[in-house]
Amino acid sequence: MLADLEALVTCESYSADHAAVARSARVVADQGGRLLGARPETLVVDGVTHVRWTFGTPRVLLLGHHDTVWPIGSLATHPWSVERGVARGPGVFDMKAGLVLLFHALAALPSLDGVCVLVTGDEEVGSDTSRPLIEEPARRCAATLVLEPSAPGGALKTGRKGLSHYDLTVHGRAAHAGLEPEKGVNAATELAHQILALSRIADTVTAQTGPGTTVTPTLASAGTTTNTVPARADLSVDVRVPTAAAQQAVDRAIRALHPHHPDARLTLAGGPNRPPLDPEASRRLFARAEETALRLGLDPLRQAAVGGGSDGNFTAGAGCPTLDGLGAVGDGAHADHEHVLTAALPDRARLLAHLVGALL
């Protein structure tokens, strides 16, 4: 398993580099082909490479991704290593170890009839090209198991917030900042008013629908030169919501924003991306996983709801019971301390193999 993990981690697969993602897809296809005994389909959508195996009529969907947030060259600063039971490297936890678990677990089954395996190449950037590939089998399957990394301590993920993303542009009017600033419409000042308005939306939605909604301004820019009144300002907004009602309420509130300055103008792009993963969509599958772990003599399973989204949000939104976080135990997704605890890999693979077998 460690050799296979090294092969995946040392093939860098930054989401924005489609050539690197294509190279990674070949490594994934070779590794899965060796362990599953069949070559996959390679699906290229708008330049992004995804890999899929289908055995018979799918009843269980196993889902993962091979792209990472780590730019090409990150191996130089975060090299692959295994020391004292800890594996490190870009993407090792999120989620290349999950792919290794997936392949080794399925290799232990006597038959894969009824299994669909989908490994996508754009999860970290919103799954724009892979979403139809995810939702189509999910609508026909009885269960989806997501090999994203576990929550802290190895907990499975039985709830995820929904995600929305917006790009807000403020259109003002340029003027010389020293000679005639009064003739300008300062887009940066207008943007400050919009940020304050956005900060109030989460409180309003929370009062309407309950706690858990966050509306976070992230990337912001304005202006062209230091002596010019900014004619344009841009803002990205990250939204996380616990329920579909909250997602709709935030969307309505953001679309209702209006300029503070009468001569400023706003344009808005984006909207809801991933629906929430409701814990009810995971309840029965988690109970089945608990029974499986007990029967195998493994440590009792725990569950957690998390703020981050995954492709499991899509499968649950498509009506398919979904259990997430079945991947590696470790910590540090997207961070310098990203790592996997190697001792947990065999037991996680055993759990997955027996869970898939029971579901089939």
Residue pLDDT, tens place only, 29-64: 999 999 999 999 999 999 999 999 999 999 999 999
Residues 167-191: pLDDT tens digits? 999 999 999 999 999 999 999 999 9
Mean pLDDT of the chain: 97
Buried b (16+ CB within 10 A) or exposed e, 312-349: bbbbbbbebbbbbbbbbbbbebeeeebbbbbebbebbb
pTM, 2 dp: 0.90
Q: Tell me, what's the pLDDT at 141? A: 98
Token duo for residue 292: 């499986």
pLDDT in tens, 190-241: 999 999 999 999 999 999 999 999 999 999 999 999 999 999 999 999 999 9
- Counting residues of the chain whose pLDDT is more than 70, the rounded percentage is 100
Q: Which DSSP letter does residue 267 get?
A: E
Please check whether the domain covering 162-274 is classified as CATH 3.40.50.1820. no
Q: In terms of C-beta density within 10 A (0-12 exposed, 13-18 middle, 19 or more buried), how is residue 146 classed?
A: buried
For the chain, domain boundaries: 2-160+276-359, 162-274
What H or E segment, with its residue span, contains residue 34? helix 18-36
Q: Is the pLDDT reported for residue 359 higher than 90? A: yes
For the segment 113-163, what is each residue's pLDDT rounded down to a tens digit? Answer: 999 999 999 999 999 999 999 999 999 999 999 999 999 999 999 999 999
> Which residues partner with 235 through β-bridges?
168, 220
What would the pLDDT profile of 233-288 be if each residue is shown by its tens digit? 999 999 999 999 999 999 999 999 999 999 999 999 999 999 999 999 999 999 99
- Tell me the pLDDT band of 308, cut-offs 50, 70 and 90: confident
Which of the 8 DSSP states describes residue 128? Answer: T
Q: In CATH, what number does 2-160+276-359 get?
A: 3.40.630.10
